[in-house]
Amino acid sequence: MAKPKLSYTIWFSQRTGSTLLGEALASTGVAGNPAEWLHYEYNDPATMTRADLEQKWEEGTSTNGVFGIKIGFEQRWIDTFRTMFELPEHTSRAEVWSTAFPNCSKHIYMTRRNKVRLAVSWWRAIVSGEWHRRFGEKPQEVDIADQYNYDAIRHLVLESTMCEAAMEDFFTESNMMPLTIVYEDFIQDYEGTVRNVLEFLEVPSEHVSIAPPAFDKLADDVAEQWVQRFREESQRDWQNVRW
């Protein structure tokens, strides 16, 4: 197929609203279909071929030639594409990425201010099996109240922090200035955020409609109890309690 006229990447750590944003952008018909094209089928990146990659271009590109992808930073994909395209070792990571996803000049960085709430949301999804709930769907009838795990939540706080550190290092190394989307702001101004992304992508969107949010929030009383329990346990015996 023809190469995309414009590619963009949504870089995210878990539970920052990337799926909600991806669905919203896809609904416009002018911003590609930014899904996790490298996540679902390729546990071993080395199994991907050039033909596979070009198929992903096709699946992720809207009729105006805009391609979107979302991913949490993984160095293994940079290494895979360097090998796939036989690029020299001195080729920068940004150049490698733009070779795999042509004309990738736009980058979006999704983050969440409160990493404890992020980690609790992540752990809740793991133990419940409910990662997303389509708007209007009935909540799962799963009792997870006894599934609190301090060590697991602490690990996820650290993992999300390290994931963001890797992405930020990539941006700095590459002199990139991504559009930063903060989860807490996004959910307060859903449509405004999506239109800001379209403007950032320089995609004509005056008459574009944006579908309503595709998902309901999953946060509930159990999640809030876990947040407060983790906050208290983490600062036990501290003289200067921060939160």
Catalytic residues: 36
Task: Report yes or no: 181 and 17 within 8 Å, Cβ to Cβ.
Answer: yes
Q: Which residues contact 213 (CB under 8 A, 6 or more apart)?
A: 20, 24, 135, 190
**SS3 label, residue 55:** helix
Residue 24 Cα distances to 27, 48, 156, 189, 191, angstroms: 5, 28, 27, 13, 9
The neighbouring-strand residues paired with 107 are: 9
| Best CA proximity match to 198, nearest among 101, 68, 5, 95 | 68
Give me 63's structure tokens. 């009729």
| Best CA proximity match to 24, nearest among 13, 5, 10 | 10
How would you class 43 by CB atoms within 10 Å of its CB: exposed for 0-12, middle for 13-18, buried for 19 or more?
exposed
